[in-house]
Amino acid sequence: MKATKLIFIMMPLSIFLAFMWAPPAEILGESSRIIYFHVPLAWGSVLAFVYSGIVSILFLADKKGKYTLLDERAYNSAGIGMVFTILAIISGAIWAKMSWGSYWNWDPRQTSITILMLIYIAYFSLHSALKDNESKGRICCSYLIFAMITVPLFIFIIPRMYPSLHPDPIINPERKLKLNAQMRTVLMISLFSFTLLYFYLLNLMNRISFIDNKYKEKYYEE
């Protein structure tokens, strides 16, 4: 995964562009710059969750053991997803304080990301409770798949239940990305950089899991 090393160029570039090149939004002012970090973090948290779910399906379907350490990969992805989710919640809360006057008001978007965090917390609780269980991988992967099935329900239910203050509907009722060309470019670069960051970290953690596994195999052989 040499391509992920592009992160060392892309991340400083996106930070530079977010603060120095992108203009402030008309109504929201300088606080709008948080969009270049908050949106990619939220995207990364969902990407990590979907990746964990798909890898979990592969783990359960892979009866011949064609792939190695799939359950560990799902766990590692969930770990990165959890960090991204917490950072997305914090950055969202800071932005909410600056534009709505309070850190938290159960906006549908805040609610959805909190539920995602609760699913991650539940998954890690189950993972740690099954520490010495041989079926740990199967049970944890089953839980992730089970949780993944319920997530789309929130996407349809929550917006029906609560009105949203989130900027998208306010700025454009048609729900299209109507940003200034410069802002849109920076947002896209930032989204790409955070996706790269996710894959870079995932690759790193998977390699650590692989080495750890090799070490344990050797240790138990001796």
Partner 1 sequence: MLSEIFRNLRKDFRVEFRNRAAINISIAFAGITTLAISLTAGGVSFSPRVQSIMLWIIMFFSAMNGLAHIFIREEEERTSLFLRLNSSLESVFLSKLLFNFIFFLILQVVICPLYIFFLQVDVKSPLLFLLILVSGGIAISSSTTILGAMVSKAGGKGSLFTVISFPILLPVLWIAITSTTDALEKRASAGFGNTLFFLAFSGVIISISFLLFKYIWVE
Q: Which is nearer to partner 1, 119 or 186 (CB)?
A: 119
Least separation in angstroms between CB 94 and partner 1: 25
Q: Determine contact, residues 87/55, Cβ cutoff 8 Å.
A: no
CA distance 91 to 86: 9
The first and second tokens of residue 213, run together, are 């596994």
Max CA distance (Å), the chain = 67
The first and second tokens of residue 197, run together, are 């960051």
Least separation in angstroms between CB 215 and partner 1: 26
Q: Where on the chain is the footprint of partner 1 (CB under 8 A)?
A: 60, 115, 118-119, 121-123, 125-126, 129-130, 133-135, 138-139, 141-143, 145-147, 149-150, 153-154, 157-158, 161
Least separation in angstroms between CB 59 and partner 1: 9
Which residues neighbour 136 within 8 Å (Cβ) at sequence distance 6 or greater? 71, 127, 130
Q: Which is nearer to partner 1, 9 or 129 (CB)?
A: 129
Q: Which is nearer to partner 1, 20 or 153 (CB)?
A: 153
Q: Which is nearer to partner 1, 13 or 115 (CB)?
A: 115
Q: Which is nearer to partner 1, 34 or 151 (CB)?
A: 151
Least separation in angstroms between CB 187 and partner 1: 29
Among 138, 140, 124, CA closest to 60: 138
Q: Which is nearer to partner 1, 26 or 132 (CB)?
A: 132
Strands (DSSP E) along 77-134, which ranges?
none
The first and second tokens of residue 77, run together, are 């992805």
CB atoms within 10 A of CB 62: 12
Least separation in angstroms between CB 129 and partner 1: 4
Least separation in angstroms between CB 26 and partner 1: 36
